[in-house]
Structure 1
Amino acid sequence: MVIEETGPTEWTFRAEVGVGPWPGPWPEDPRYDPELLEHGDRRNVVDAYRYWRREAIVADLDRRRHPFHVAIENFQHDHNIGTVVRTANAFAAAAVHIVGRRRWNRRGAMVTDRYQHLHHHPDVASFAAFAEAEGLPVVAVDNTHGARPVQDVALPRECVLLFGQEGSGLSEQAQRVASRVVSIAQFGSTRSINAGVAAGIVMHAWISRHANPADAW
């Protein structure tokens, strides 16, 4: 914690993020970045990846990624997409697929998109063709008629979790390509739930069923 005096009676408390320059002799491991070793590593990464090159982190994540994918329709330039990407990174999803508009607001991703495989599909048809070619069942997430509560569904180990936009939800075309549709139980007055929050809930449902807690950091 760094305390800075900003005036006669005002103080600013600023938490230092990350670590400073490497103390002592530098490691010879090629995964380490000389610039980070010299100046410090202030990135939002787990301690195990401190001072590592970005490419080395991605390579190590590829060794640890889970076999589920995440997809989200992007037809309203939804700012929640960044949050979905960030959560997918936290749960080590195999990849994130943007369906529809190519551009999306990356601010919510908090730079995690640098470490996450991202793919773009111009429309639902091309996304469905990808999923079929890879043998990945599509699990749509939407509080629509006929959807089954996610806690009652055995999510496939290898699959694509497909999310829509907050409010409007998934398009009819997206729902048609899904092998099943799951919903999240809600108890308040609102019909919808934040897309980023919904993605986190369903991803964790997958993690709870298929991931090994011993592999977590």
Structure 2
Amino acid sequence: MTSGATPADDGPGPTEWGGSVGVGPWRGPWPEDPRYDPQLLAEGDRRNVVDRYRYWSLEAIVADLDTRRHPFHVAIENFEHDLNIGTVVRTANAFLAAEVHVVGRRRWNRRGAMVTDRYQHLRHHPDVAGVLAFAAEQELAVVAVDNGPDAVPLETVQLPRRSLLLFGQEGPGLTPAARAGAALTVSIAQFGSTRSLNAGVAAGIAMHAWVRQHTGLPMTPGADPA
């Protein structure tokens, strides 16, 4: 909990409560901190959020995340309602990406995001030209993640701090326009028989590579890296 406010000793803590992950109604005097949501204080908070955000309103959580977001963006081409986009959004939220860009179709299956799209900034571009123009305006280096012949192994390259990681849809991968517009193309080392990784998995690996290179990780397990 934050601001020195916690439920009473006999009340539920930030653990499983009533068969669901979360905390129950607040016990004792309510905190005066405006970040706390009255409805959540009254009814309990079973959302999939870390303990520091228990009982906080959605707006308060997003505002706090905005003070700590990392300067990398993630983009994924969407032409066939790719189910991986939800996974990418959820992972981008976990690694605190600045924004997730959906290129192509505006609609996508949000089930895999597990409601994290409420906390993650999303932007739509009708085509690859749009996301490349955005990257140029924001001075972001476009890094395509693809296993083509011109790719550099991700394990051997230093990713630009201000970067936009660009992924293709499941199956065909990146379009020629996306490959042509990238400043750098990286591949992920594979050792089995499959020719490609799941797009959601590849995005997670690439984002984690950025985090390892550019974020001061905590020495204590479970500590907040911010």
TM-score by length of 2: 0.88
Map 1:1-217 onto structure 2 (within 5 A): 15-214=19-218, 215-216=224-225
Q: Which structure has greater helix proportion?
A: 1
What letter corresponds to residue 197 of structure 1 in structure 2? Answer: V
Structure 1 counterpart SS, 2:204: helix
Q: Which digits, 9 at most, give the CA deviation of each residue in 1:14-34, with x for residues without a partner?
A: 842111001111000000000
Q: Which digits, 9 at most, give the CA deviation of each residue in 1:34-83, with x for residues without a partner?
A: 00000000000000000000000000000111000000000111000000
What letter corresponds to residue 111 of structure 2 in structure 1? Answer: R
Q: Unaligned stretches of 5+ in structure 2? A: 1-17, 219-223
TM-score by length of 1: 0.92
What letter corresponds to residue 109 of structure 2 in structure 1? Answer: N
Q: Which digits, 9 at most, give the CA deviation of each residue in 1:125-146, with x for residues without a partner?
A: 1111111111111000001111
Distance (Å, rounded) in 2 between the aligned partners of 1:100 and 1:27: 45
Distance (Å, rounded) in 1 between the aligned partners of 2:98 and 2:79: 23
What letter corresponds to residue 182 of structure 2 in structure 1? Answer: A
Q: Which digits, 9 at most, give the CA deviation of each residue in 1:147-182, with x for residues without a partner?
A: 011011100001100011121110000001100100
2:10 maps to none
How many residues of Structure 1 are paired with residues of Structure 2 in the alignment?
Answer: 204
Q: Unaligned stretches of 5+ in structure 1? A: 1-13
Distance (Å, rounded) in 1 between the aligned partners of 2:140 and 2:198: 25
Contact between 1:166 and 1:192, CA under 8 Å: does it hold in 2? no
1:6 maps to none
Distance (Å, rounded) in 2 between the aligned partners of 1:87 and 1:56: 21
Q: Which digits, 9 at most, give the CA deviation of each residue in 1:188-214, with x for residues without a partner?
A: 111111111000000000000001113
